Structure 1
């Protein structure tokens, strides 16, 4: 299903929206890699896979995979087709389970997409990164490619069921290498330093003002 969706939907989406894509050469063609992006819209997890030539796995609410009937089957096929992996966000153990899932993806030498802010920015600011992204990078020993999205919050605003034709840009930065850099550094400190480095790189690409605080998930996010 992924091959079908990516070979048909991705070229069509690029032809319709014509996203401005820069730095794509920074994404390794093979091997485990983390794509760490700012998060402005639900559409972000569609935009990134559409412009990256290799499969990128993202986590999505398990609700999208459990619908019944024809609509449920089509919805499930769509999300599986764009590389989404189900996670129960209301489960108290979901955070740990999602990290384990991500490590499995990276262990297979695949690309994993993550939003270090944790949830969408509702005011356009870039929020402080949570250290799960650093945990993945340090544990798997893979590079992190920072991604800066612009305009996706207008592509499909919160509450809108249909995407709009608006200018969208996707910028990829040079990979951040972590392997071997933090030997002897306390793990908590290493995770914080790596996360802050990633967020600084994302901010340089997205141009967003920094909030300086963590973002909290809205009830309907």
Structure 2
């Protein structure tokens, strides 16, 4: 018993000395110590695995898109890709509210954007066949453009309104029967974790297609991989699915009201720590 206490005290003393040397507290010391231990695993295992899994699974997704269907490839391969990479990181995901999603219903999913890892969370745990709306320029990027096009993702030319309308009409054929489309209405990842201004594109898209908006809140991914950082760390995140919003109850000129309603829903959840 005395030996156990002595060991515990010596560990605490060493940790406090470590903290004092770094000018921080014990919690900070544990954080730095954890980063130190994780560093070789990050660069020796996780990062190579993320790249290798993408290189291996991308051609398989294209093949299944041709042999079976783009929707099958999008849901099965993308879900596996997201989950296996999350497992290797490791990232633990808790989900609430998924029962609000109805089978066979297509949604315009609207989510906040904190990290590249948001994509893993949405693909791996939302439980929907989702299509992304992407800038037309990404279609020309090697591998990414090829894979995304084969899986039925939507490329939109925002510099040409006529082509944008044509893309919207084409999207009507893809987004149906339970296949949904997803937007990050902030347009980019948050720098500090706060919720940025929402652009109206996603909501206009939903209104034009007559699809319900499904607000989704992601919490915790910024601690795993912040914007502009390579300091990848393990951790737990949560995915919260909110009540769908029926845009048919709003007129076209009332898009601002839909935007505010959805943004306030996500903001309230983010503030609920």
**Among candidates 182, 188, 195, match of residue 259 of structure 2:** 195
**Equivalences for residues 1-221 of structure 1 within 5 A:** 1=61, 2=73, 5-6=77-78, 8-13=80-85, 15=87, 16-62=90-136, 64-67=138-141, 72-73=142-143, 75-76=144-145, 79=148, 84-87=153-156, 91=159, 93=161, 103-107=172-176, 109-160=178-229, 163-179=232-248, 181-182=249-250, 185=251, 187-188=252-253, 190-207=254-271
The 1:77/1:153 distance shift into structure 2, 3 A limit, reads farther
**Partners in 2 of 1:160 and 1:106 — Cα distance?**
34
**Partners in 2 of 1:52 and 1:35 — Cα distance?**
10
Give the match's secondary structure for 2:133. strand
Mean Cα displacement is larger for which, 53-62 or 146-155? 53-62
**Partners in 1 of 2:232 and 2:109 — Cα distance?**
23
Give the match's secondary structure for 2:246. coil
**Partners in 2 of 1:117 and 1:97 — Cα distance?**
24
The 1:5/1:77 distance shift into structure 2, 3 A limit, reads farther
Give the match's secondary structure for 1:168. strand
Q: TM-score, normalised by structure 1?
A: 0.72
Mean Cα displacement is larger for which, 29-38 or 108-117? 108-117
Q: TM-score, normalised by structure 2?
A: 0.60
**Partners in 2 of 1:95 and 1:154 — Cα distance?**
36
Instruction: Tell me how far 1:193 sits from its aligned partner.
Output: 0.8
Higher-Rg member (1/2): 2
Instruction: Tell me how far 1:48 sits from its aligned partner.
Output: 0.7
Which has the bigger relative contact order, CA under 8 A and spacing at least 6? 1
Cα RMSD (Å): 3.1
Greater helix share, structure number: 2
The 1:167/1:102 distance shift into structure 2, 3 A limit, reads farther
**Partners in 2 of 1:120 and 1:139 — Cα distance?**
26
**Partners in 1 of 2:147 and 2:99 — Cα distance?**
27
Instruction: Tell me how far 1:173 sits from its aligned partner.
Output: 0.7
Give the match's secondary structure for 1:191. helix
Unpaired segments of 5 or more residues in structure 2?
A: 1-60, 62-72
**Partners in 2 of 1:101 and 1:107 — Cα distance?**
12
**Counterpart residue number, 1:213:** none
What per-residue deviation string (whole Å, max 9, x for no partner) do you get for residues 46-88 of structure 1?
3211112221112344555434xxxx33x45665688754445
How many residues are matched?
A: 197
